[in-house]
Amino acid sequence: MRFHILGTGAIGCHVASVLRPRHPITLLLRSNAAVKTFKEQNNNSVTYARTNQQPIKVEGFDAEPVGPSLQSPIEALFVSTKSQHAVEAVRSVQPRLSRSSTLVLLQNGMGLAEELLDKLWPVKEAAPSIIIGVNRHAIERVAPFSVVHHSGWDDQEGGLMLGAMPHSVPENATKVLDAVAQFEEFNSKIFPWEELRRRMMRKLVVNASINPVAALLGVRNGALHDNPGADALLHAVCQEAHALLPELDTTADELFDMVRKTVVIAANNTCSTLQDLQANRLTEVDYINGYLLKLARDRNIAAPVNEYLTNMIHAKERVLGAK
């Protein structure tokens, strides 16, 4: 099976480097110039390293530009762009997608899959199968097509939790899920849709707690450990999330304990929100804390801490001129 990968940041390069030894991989890049640069400067390779280990070069990738010049069908597409860019990125290859295709979405936060269906495939019976991935791997992009893997490969809850949306064609989704499950490096676990949604919510709480606080402080995750001021913010986010997500059937303290454990496990990682700000990129905050704010409005529940953190991240983006 050939996999196409749309979005070659930290997550996309990690997925590409794992799949490549057994599958042909096509990276979908922004332009012909980007394809040329990848060939000439990177020799069609991705550099991968685990923390404190020597990097290895994974070679033999194909690369194509997105856009109307290519029309060959795409069977399996990993979408690892930032949430706020994903709809337009998928739109750029939509003519190559059909009911026979399968998309794997690997974004932080929640709400993107529903947005994709609403904007690109309002008739679900014509939509590709969609698999959602809850990614607990902590990956850092250190240079173009070069990543460092900090944690996730031995996470007991699973490094990559996957499930297919109800509208998906079972045999198509299963083919992709089975292919991913063959790789121990992914530490993948497959769940029915409703259970995966609960796990998405738990990951949302982790991201909504750690990402904005670490990003605003400008620190790696580990700096939030044994930090009373940071603890107060993390706990406040968990209290609001507990009120907004009764489906989790847990307590605010249990959510806070989950967040604190993640801070320790992924201590060396620079969260994606901070990576975005450091690169003057817009963040995914509207799909993380912003998603909780949407729930708060819909359910008439106050969420002042999430509102404050969302506004602060947007203010930081504006100051930096993020795009």
pLDDT average, residue stretch 182-194: 96
pLDDT at 68: 77
Q: Could you give the domains of the chain?
A: 3-191 (3.40.50.720), 197-320 (1.10.1040.10)
Please write down the long-range contacts of 190-194, taking CB distance under 8 Å and 24 or more positions apart. 190/161, 190/162, 190/163, 191/161, 191/162, 191/163, 192/163, 193/163, 193/164, 193/165, 193/166
In this predicted structure, what is the pLDDT of residue 156?
87
Tokens of 196: 């995966």
CA separation for the pair 302, 184 (Å, rounded):
42
Q: List, for residues 70-98, the tens digit of each pLDDT value.
A: 789 999 999 999 999 999 999 999 999 99
Closest CA to 217 of 231, 199, 196: 231
C-alpha torsion angle, residues 233, 234, 236, 240 (rounded to 10): 140
Q: How confident is the model at residue 61 (pLDDT cuts 50, 70, 90)?
A: very high
* Strand-pair partners of 130: 103
Per the prediction, the chain carries an average pLDDT of: 95
Cα(286)–Cα(288) distance, integer angstroms: 6
How large is the average pLDDT for residues 254-273? Answer: 94
* pLDDT recorded at residue 155: 87
For residue 150, give the amino acid letter: H
